[in-house]
Amino acid sequence: MSLTVVGSIAYDAVKTPFGERERMLGGAATHFALAASFFDEVRPVGPVGDDFDEESWRILRTRGTVTDDVELVEGGRTFFWKGEYSANLNQRETHVTDLNVFETFSPKLSQASQDADVLFLANIQPELQLNVREQCTKARFVAMDSMNLWINIAHQALREVIGTVDCLILNDEELEMLTEKPTLLQAAREVLSWGPTAVVAKLGKYGAALFTADDFFALPAYPLSEVIDPTGAGDTFAGGFVGYVAAHPGEALDHGLLARAMAYGTALASYNVEEFGTERVERLTAEEIQARVADLSRMTAFAADPVALRA
Amino acid sequence: MSLTVVGSIAYDAVKTPFGERERMLGGAATHFALAASFFDEVRPVGPVGDDFDEESWRILRTRGTVTDDVELVEGGRTFFWKGEYSANLNQRETHVTDLNVFETFSPKLSQASQDADVLFLANIQPELQLNVREQCTKARFVAMDSMNLWINIAHQALREVIGTVDCLILNDEELEMLTEKPTLLQAAREVLSWGPTAVVAKLGKYGAALFTADDFFALPAYPLSEVIDPTGAGDTFAGGFVGYVAAHPGEALDHGLLARAMAYGTALASYNVEEFGTERVERLTAEEIQARVADLSRMTAFAADPVALRA
């Protein structure tokens, strides 16, 4: 089995109240791959420039990730993003977005990447997502992310891709913006009517919620004493979530499976934000992930105890 | 057993995107009592003016609430609040706050109210909260609410009351403001070091989280297709939460009991916001509450399934 992801591979300059990094490996496909590599062989698809250094290739290949479809554009420069977070990390300001090699990117998938069992379309132009979606004809589960930019300037194309996937993973505010609905439940139901069988709302520091035709499931974020750098948390969540599905090829893609997948996404994301960029997840262990999944199970379970109520 | 609550009894004028009410019964003690009355005999303490009408007395007495300590101030007018919510209900603006009979309020508790087994200090001046706290010497569980106003203008008095209660129930942003800590976990731990054995962070549409010395527990808000009026949701939550504790006099006040109490608070609050003011909770049934508690248990449970992870 294998898991293909298309999305950005980038260098990030990040400043938070707790420190800064001038240039570190980042990008949606990178964070996704680092998390998903715990579950399956991952094949990222995306361009890099010839400034992409050996150390970055090494990190990208953590836990066996196959970089055959990472396209090295000679004479090009790798996507670069520079941003800064507010004191409470609730807001971030983008200072620089240099698309560089992404400006002319046209995804070319090897046969192995096209044959992926599971596919994740990270946040890129909806037209590119659709292009990749159409190349991966054998995928039994396809999930995607997006962002407010595409909701505003490429609404129709975005609607079209959403209609071809099994699961949309998006911030709650973006879901409400996308559907023009006043509550998350209405927004999720609207998206489910467009084709997907599942919608995951990312709630930032409040966790994530899962909507299917049958049911609802929600998990808080793992409680952390310190959050150092939220960059990549959403993609790390997606890597754990989609990776978990990829690791269960024989199972029905039902609400229960996706709920358990949410726990792995949440555990992975909690480690990601404890240090800058990929630093924590690079050296993360399976035991550490299992420990937080078990914690989350305990921290959300309660025994319904039907107390006698007064009338 | 009985449950005393001190706080505002008010008339509210509320406008939301879904409608408005010119003058309806409201106030923290009212919403708390309506919810808590499912669990125990409730005794609200607070002043009203002689504009307080028969219909309001009737609503306040729902499910046997005892109004002996609701002080009728002759020639006075009942506390009045007028506010308006933004399109997505995330923000609210206060247009009018007429303290009226609250300006000169000095809580006088009957023996029965002083003998309460459980006490809730709703959001009022910390000095009044402390006054009531000191009158109720037999309470085995005391919880309190507060607000940003008192954090700003009565910080020391607020700290003093907090040191005398078992549980602080506050919005997450207010907890961070109160303690000047950057994360909710740090804020909660700081409050626990001041005396309380439990802290409940109200997260609005994201639910609520419980912090004790031992552990952490979180519950999402009940997923609703429509939210009509959020006024009183926090006090209704508190009524369900504290009421549940009051209904379990023989049990240890441990993490498990408080977690189950959170589920009742969450279920009650979800009904409160479905209609204006007290309209929905007035005619709520025990069966409806139990149904949502059971839903919440299912919607948050997942079986940790230790998948084999790659190294």
Banded pLDDT at B307 (limits 50, 70, 90): confident
Counting the structural domains of chain B, the total is 1
DSSP state of A307: P
User: Does residue A82 lie in a domain region?
Assistant: yes
Percent of chain A scoring above 70 in pLDDT: 100
- Whether the pLDDT of residue A28 is over 90: the answer is yes
Average confidence (pLDDT) over A152-178: 97
Residue B214 — very low, low, confident or very high, per pLDDT cuts 50/70/90?
confident
In a mutational test of the A interface, the residue from B206, B225, B248 whose CB has the highest number of chain A CBs within 10 Å is B206
Dihedral sign for Cα atoms in the order A130, A132, A133, A134: positive
What is the percent of chain A where pLDDT is above 90? 93
What DSSP character marks residue A154?
-
Asked if B63 is an interface residue toward chain A (Cβ–Cβ < 8 A), one would say: yes
Q: Which domain holds residue A244?
A: 3-299
Residue B305 lies in a domain: no
Out of A88, A286, A294, the one facing B311 most closely (by C-beta) is A286
What b-and-e string marks burial along B228-252, b requiring 16 or more CB atoms within 10 Å of the CB?
A: bbbbbbbbbbbbbbbbbbbbbeeee
Q: What is the mean pLDDT of the segment spanning B48-59? A: 97
Q: What is the CATH number of the domain that holds A232?
A: 3.40.1190.20
Better-scored residue on pLDDT, A107 or A87:
A107
Element (H, E) at B266: helix B255-272
The minimal CB distance from A304 to the residues B63, B64, B297 is found for: B297
The answer on pLDDT for B1 being more than 80 is: no
CA distances from B26 to A65, A78, B11 (A): 59, 59, 5
Task: Choose between B250 and B187: higher pLDDT.
Answer: B187
- pLDDT tens profile A46-96: 999 999 999 999 999 999 999 999 999 999 999 999 999 988 787 899 999
Q: Which pLDDT does position A214 carry in this prediction?
A: 81
**Residue B311 counted as domain residue:** no
Does the pLDDT value for residue B296 go beyond 90? yes
Establish if B153 belongs to a structural domain: yes
Query: Is residue B73 domain-resident?
Result: yes
Would you state the pLDDT for residue A128? 96
Asked if residue A305 belongs to a domain, the reply is no
In a domain, A304, yes or no: no
* Average pLDDT score over chain A: 96
Closest CA in chain A for residue B264 = A304
B307 in a structural domain: no
Condensed to tens digits (0 to 9), the pLDDT of residues A215-229 reads 999 999 999 999 999
Poorest-pLDDT segment among A32-36, A153-157, B85-89, B123-127: B85-89
Q: Cβ of A300 and B300 within 8 Å? A: yes
Mean pLDDT of chain B: 96
Residues of B in contact with A1 (CB under 8 A): none
Inter-chain contact B307–A247, Cβ cutoff 8 Å? yes
